[in-house]
Every structure is written in structure tokens, then in C-alpha cells.
């Protein structure tokens, strides 16, 4: 998102000013530094958690200085908190619905309907990033009926040119890369027994867990107990700049979360020409085409069967599957197209 904000600032049309308002909290150290190198300090509000009044004051200053302000907000809470601002004629509001799921099934229609009413009352457009929130969000049809629906896949700023090859992975091995944040609700460990079974059968197969999370230590212990720690390796979280080199030497990528919002752990490998074996959640649900771009897995035994099938494929067939995956991902997740789409949307709601 930091890279996206920088690119949006650089692509801002003439006569339009771009401002960034976001929490000081960083998921990765240095994100704010990279933003500050490009955006002028007066175009940034970096607030502490809970600094809602500071945000309000910033928005009011912009409204006093400019003829019209369009705000792109994330989630229902900001839509409700600043409803008096969104009601003004010199302000427009676009809200993104990243993901919608309520674990208590009976609450889902009630919550989504109330959220839809908020959108109809205070937002000019609601952006859905993937088809599955539309299905989960029972207010989606209501939003469509009133012309406030917008579908825009969330793309990643990834260079699809192959950088220098990373030396961590041996290109002669059958390299399986697993990008994940390991936590309980994602249920990543469900398929671990099948990975263990697969590497025991094939001594040149290596599985790399790139990521971290509270359940990673548990995964490591299970791998050691199974005696396959030389083949299932958890290097942990690595710099995003190195990821493309690693993916370039991968045979297959895994995306095995129990739940995802957009799920770029499937999209990113595909953009680099790597076929994906994944659970049918998030983006993987509609970009994994069995036998064409990878394989979808549901039940126990599916993962082992998919990996075994890909292991036995001629290398040319596996490369062809990777090329199919790349074409599919690039067609649906066009980064520059997404940024242009945002500016077009902002312009339409500001009139």
C-alpha cells in the first residue's frame, strides 16, 4: 500500500492534489520513510492509533482550502464516524470492502444489511475487490440497484521481469514455495502431513515456508518430529525485494489458507509464472483453473495428489502451466489499470 500511495501521488492528474491519512503503525519497518521520500510532508497525516479528532481536523482543513475533497476510506467505522463530512456537498466518499465474513452465520445478513444502509446514505461508491465478498455481502444487490457498486480487483505493484537468481534454492530440486502468515484461524497446518508424506517420497523435493506468525514455531516442531527438517525449511520472513528471485526458481507455489481476503499469496507467484496449488479461498477461488494454472485442493489427500501430479509432469508442461498462470494473473490484476481506475472513479464522484 505504501508503494501504491507513492505511485498514485506520482500519477495524480494536473490540478488535483493527493493526500495520505494513515495510522503510524507499520507492518514493516521503513514503510513511512519510503512514503516521506516522495510525498511532501504537508500532504501526509501520520496519526497515532485512536487519533480520530486529528483526522477530523485534517479533513476540515482540506475542505476549507479546496473546492472539493474526495476521500477513499476503508471499512464501515470511518464511514459512520465522519458521516457529517460525507454529507457535505463539497465532499465525496468512496469506501472499499476488502473482505466480508461474519463467523456467526445468522449475524451475517444483519451486519451486511446495516453496512449497506451506511453505504447508501453516506458513500458515493463502494469498491469490491473480489467476487467472493459480493456473495457474502447480502447488501451487495441493494448497492448495485442504487448505482453505487464498483468492482475493481486489487492488484500488486510487481515487476514480472526475473531479477538475479537467488542462491537459496537449487534449480535442480523440485522447489515448493509456501508464502504464509501462520496463525490459528488460517489453519495452515491442516495440510502439513501431506507435505511431509510428499518430501519423504521424493528426496529432491524441498518445501520453503516464507513467512512468520504465532503458529510458525508449532509448524517447525512438527517438521522436526517427522525428521524432514532438511527438506521442509522455514527461512521465515524475507524482504519482498528478494521474493521474485526465489519465485523464479520455484516449481510450484502453495496457498493453503483456511480463509483469505484477496489472498495475494496465490496472485504473486502466478504473476512470476509459477503454477499454484491452493485452497479455494480468496483470489485463488477464481484464478486457479485445475490443470491449467495449477490445482485447487479441498479435502484431505488433494494436496499430495496435486503435488505428485506436478512432480511427474515433464518440465516443459510445468513451465507451460506457469505461463498460463502468468497470463491469467496479469489479465485480472493489472496494477496500472487499477490506479487509472481509481482516478477515474474519484473524478466521477467529484462532479
Average pLDDT on 12-20 reads: 87
Q: What are phi and psi of 335, to 5 degrees?
A: -65, -50
Rounded Cα distance, 310 and 312, in Å? 5
CB of 216 closer than 8 Å to CB of 185: no
Other C-beta atoms within 10 Å of 150: how many?
21
Strand spans (E) along the chain:
20-23, 44-47, 69-74, 91-97, 125-128, 149-151, 174-179, 205-210, 232-233, 252-255, 276-279, 294-297
pLDDT average, residue stretch 298-324: 92
Alpha-carbon torsion 286, 292, 297, 299, what sign? positive
- Convert the pLDDT of each residue in 160-215 to its tens digit: 455 454 567 888 899 999 988 888 877 878 899 999 999 999 999 999 998 888 98
Model pLDDT, residue 190: 87
Amino acid at each position: 500500500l505504501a508503494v501504491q500511495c507513492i505511485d498514485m501521488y506520482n500519477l495524480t492528474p494536473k490540478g488535483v492534489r493527493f493526500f495520505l491519512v494513515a495510522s503510524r503503525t507499520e507492518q514493516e519497518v521503513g514503510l513511512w520513510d519510503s512514503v516521506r521520500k516522495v510525498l511532501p510532508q504537508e500532504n501526509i497525516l501520520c496519526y497515532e492509533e485512536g487519533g480520530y479528532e486529528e483526522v477530523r481536523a485534517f479533513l476540515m482543513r482540506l475542505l476549507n482550502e479546496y473546492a472539493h475533497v474526495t476521500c477513499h476510506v476503508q471499512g464501515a467505522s470511518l464511514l459512520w464516524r465522519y458521516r457529517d463530512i460525507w454529507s457535505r456537498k463539497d465532499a465525496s466518499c468512496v469506501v472499499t470492502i476488502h473482505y466480508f465474513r461474519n463467523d456467526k452465520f445468522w449475524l451475517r445478513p444483519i451486519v451486511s444489511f446495516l453496512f449497506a444502509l451506511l453505504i447508501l446514505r453516506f458513500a458515493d461508491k463502494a469498491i469490491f475487490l473480489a467476487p467472493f465478498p459480493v456473495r457474502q455481502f447480502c447488501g451487495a444487490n441493494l448497492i448495485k440497484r442504487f448505482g453505487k457498486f464498483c468492482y475493481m480487483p486489487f492488484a500488486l505493484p510487481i515487476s514480472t521481469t526475473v531479477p538475479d537468481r537467488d542462491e537459496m534454492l537449487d534449480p535442480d530440486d523440485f522447489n515448493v514455495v509456501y508464502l504464509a502468515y501462520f496463525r490459528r484461524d488460517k489453519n495452515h497446518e491442516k495440510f502439513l502431513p501431506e507435505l511431509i508424506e510428499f518430501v519423504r517420497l521424493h528426496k529432491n523435493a524441498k518445501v520453503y515456508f516464507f513467512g512468520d506468525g504465532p503458529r510458525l514455531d508449532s509448524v517447525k516442531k512438527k517438521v522436526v518430529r517427522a525428521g524432514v527438517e532438511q527438506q521442509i525449511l522455514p527461512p521465515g520472513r524475507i524482504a519482498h525485494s528478494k521474493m521474485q528471485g526465489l519465485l523464479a526458481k520455484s516449481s510450484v507455489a502453495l496457498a493453503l489458507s483456511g480463509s483469505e481476503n484477496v489472498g495475494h499469496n496465490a496472485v504473486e507467484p502466478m504473476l512470476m509464472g509459477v503454477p499454484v496449488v491452493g485452497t479455494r479461498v480468496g483470489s485463488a477461488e477464481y484464478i486457479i483453473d485445475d490443470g491449467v494454472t495449477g490445482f485447487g485442493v479441498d479435502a484431505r489427500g488433494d494436496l499430495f495428489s496435486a503435488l505428485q501430479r506436478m512432480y511427474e509432469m515433464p518440465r516443459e508442461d510445468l513451465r507451460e502451466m506457469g505461463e498460463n498462470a502468468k497470463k491469467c494473473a496479469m489479465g485480472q490484476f493489472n496494477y496500472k489499470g487499477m490506479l487509472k481506475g481509481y482516478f477515474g472513479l474519484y473524478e466521477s464522484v467529484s462532479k
